[in-house]
Structure 1
Amino acid sequence: MSFVAVKLLKLGYSQAKKQSAKKQQHQQFQDPAAAGYPPYPQPYPPYQPYPMGEYPPGVAPGTNMSYPPENDPKPSKGSKVISMIMSALRFFQFVFGLAVIGLYGQDVQHDHDSKNTWHAKWLFALIVGFLATTTAAIHMIVPFCMRRVNYNPSPALRLPQFTWEFVLCVLWLTLFGIFGRMYIGVHPSTSSSKRDSDSSTSDLGDASKINRMRHAVWVDLVNLAFWFITASWVLLRWLKARRPAGPVGVDAEKEGA
Structure 2
Amino acid sequence: MSFLAVSLLKFGFSQAKKQRAKKQGQQFQDPSAYPQYPQPYPMTEYPPGVAPGSDVAYPPSSEPTSKRSKAMGMLISALRFFQFVFGLAVIGLYGQDVHHDHKAKDTWNAKWVFALIVGFLATSTAVIHLIVPFLTRKVNYRPGAKLQLPRFAWEFVLCVLWLTLFGIFGKLYIGVYPSDSNSDSSKRDATSTTSELGDASKINRMRHAVWVDLVNLVFWAVTASWALLQWLKARREDGPVVFDAEKEAGSI
Specify the TM-score bucket, using the shorter chain as the normaliser. Answer: 0.5 to 0.7
Q: Which runs of 5+ in 1 are unaligned?
A: 1-41, 51-69, 247-257
What is the number of equivalent residue pairs in this alignment?
A: 184
Kindly provide the CA deviation profile for residues 165-195 of structure 1, in whole angstroms up to 9, marking residues without a partner as x.
0000000000000000000000111129999
Q: Is residue 203 of structure 1 aligned with residue 190 of structure 2?
A: no
Q: 1:141 aligns with which of 123, 128, 131?
A: 131
Distance 2:86 2:141 in 1: 27
The residue aligned with 1:172 is 162
Q: 1:115 to 1:126 in 2, by over 3 A?
A: same
Cα RMSD (Å): 2.7
Q: 2:34 aligns with which of 47, 72, 75?
A: 47
Q: 2:152 aligns with which of 143, 162, 169?
A: 162
Q: 1:117 aligns with which of 83, 87, 107?
A: 107
Secondary structure of the residue that 1:118 maps to in structure 2? coil
Q: Contact 1:192 / 1:198 at 8 angstroms: preserved in 2?
A: no
The residue aligned with 1:76 is 66
Higher RCO, 1 or 2 (CA under 8 Å, sep at least 6)?
A: 2
Q: Is residue 108 of structure 1 aligned with residue 102 of structure 2?
A: no
Secondary structure of the residue that 1:188 maps to in structure 2? coil
Distance 1:192 1:142 in 2: 53
- What amino acid is the match of 2:34? Y
Secondary structure of the residue that 1:202 maps to in structure 2? helix
Q: Which has the larger radius of gyration?
A: 1
- TM-score when normalising by structure 2: 0.67
- What amino acid is the match of 1:178? I
- What amino acid is the match of 2:130? M
Q: 1:229 aligns with which of 222, 231, 249?
A: 222
- What amino acid is the match of 2:227? V
Q: Contact 2:118 / 2:162 at 8 angstroms: preserved in 1?
A: yes
Secondary structure of the residue that 2:197 maps to in structure 1? coil
Distance 2:141 2:232 in 1: 21
Q: Which runs of 5+ in 2 are unaligned?
A: 1-29, 38-59, 240-252
Distance 1:236 1:242 in 2: 10
Distance 1:190 1:139 in 2: 45
Secondary structure of the residue that 1:182 maps to in structure 2? helix
Per the TM alignment, residue 151 of structure 1 is displaced from its structure 2 partner at its CA by: 6.5
The residue aligned with 2:247 is none
Q: 1:189 aligns with which of 170, 179, 186?
A: 179
The residue aligned with 1:253 is none
Q: Contact 2:73 / 2:141 at 8 angstroms: preserved in 1?
A: no
